[in-house]
């Protein structure tokens, strides 16, 4: 989930349920894994206003962390039942609380402070890295499905830390 959260610039509400709220959660039927890429068809998202968005993520053979490979591995374990993309071991939609618990565990394992990392950090990290690589602001806005220029607040300068 962490890898896809970063590479697909996902909002926490697009991956997890909160109080049984499935409004914007990506379903299994919205995801297609092809040989060399992953396709996510966003049918409904925070600022969609009825518009859909089609995101393609290429397989990355040069990186140890590839969203396509990670999701392919996950899908071999997941049942083919319809519903949210991410399910816990009991077959229920992953909750926001479970995601936060797993993130805290990963941070503890790595010796990183939980004060600086939140579920939204994956979007912040993508926006920051994309900007550093020279992607245009329009491209970053589009990939993250931002309606406004609010994403510019997510772009961190070298050494800048925030607990957004």
Tell whether 25 is covered by a domain: yes
Angle at 79 between CA 8 and CA 100, to 5 degrees: 45
Strands, E assignment, 7-162: 31-33, 37-42, 53-58
Number of structural domains found in the chain: 1
Q: Tell me whether residue 10 is in a domain.
A: yes
Domain residues for 38?
A: 2-153
- Alpha carbons 18 and 100: distance in angstroms, whole number: 12
In a domain, residue 14? The reply is yes
Is 74 inside any structural domain?
yes
Domain presence at residue 16: yes
pLDDT of residue 163: 47
Specify if 97 maps to a domain. Answer: yes
Question: Is residue 164 situated within a structural domain?
Answer: no
| Model-wide pTM > 0.75 | yes
CATH of residue 12: 1.10.443.10
Beta-carbon contacts of 74 under 8 Å, excluding residues fewer than 6 positions away, are 86
Residue 158 lies in a domain: no
| Per-residue pLDDT at 27 | 93
pLDDT per residue rounded down to tens, the chain (164 residues): 999 999 999 989 999 998 776 778 999 999 999 889 999 988 777 766 677 788 899 998 887 789 999 999 999 999 888 999 999 989 999 999 999 999 999 999 999 999 999 998 999 999 999 999 999 999 998 888 888 788 788 787 765 555 44
């Amino acid at each position: 989930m962490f890898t896809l959260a970063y590479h697909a610039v996902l909002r926490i509400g697009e991956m997890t349920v909160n109080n049984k709220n499935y409004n914007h959660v990506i379903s299994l039927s919205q995801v297609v894994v092809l040989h060399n890429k992953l396709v996510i068809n966003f049918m409904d998202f925070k600022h969609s206003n009825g518009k859909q968005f089609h995101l393609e993520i290429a397989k990355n053979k040069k990186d140890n962390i590839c969203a396509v490979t990670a999701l392919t591995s996950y899908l071999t374990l997941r049942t083919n039942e319809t519903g949210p993309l991410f399910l816990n071991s009991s077959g229920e939609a992953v909750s926001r609380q479970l995601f936060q618990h797993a993130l805290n565990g990963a941070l503890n394992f790595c010796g990183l402070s939980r004060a600086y990392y939140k579920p939204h950090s994956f979007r912040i990290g993508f926006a920051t890295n994309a900007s550093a690589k020279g992607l245009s602001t329009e491209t970053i806005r589009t990939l993250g499905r931002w309606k406004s220029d609010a994403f510019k607040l997510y772009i961190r300068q070298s050494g800048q830390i925030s607990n957004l």
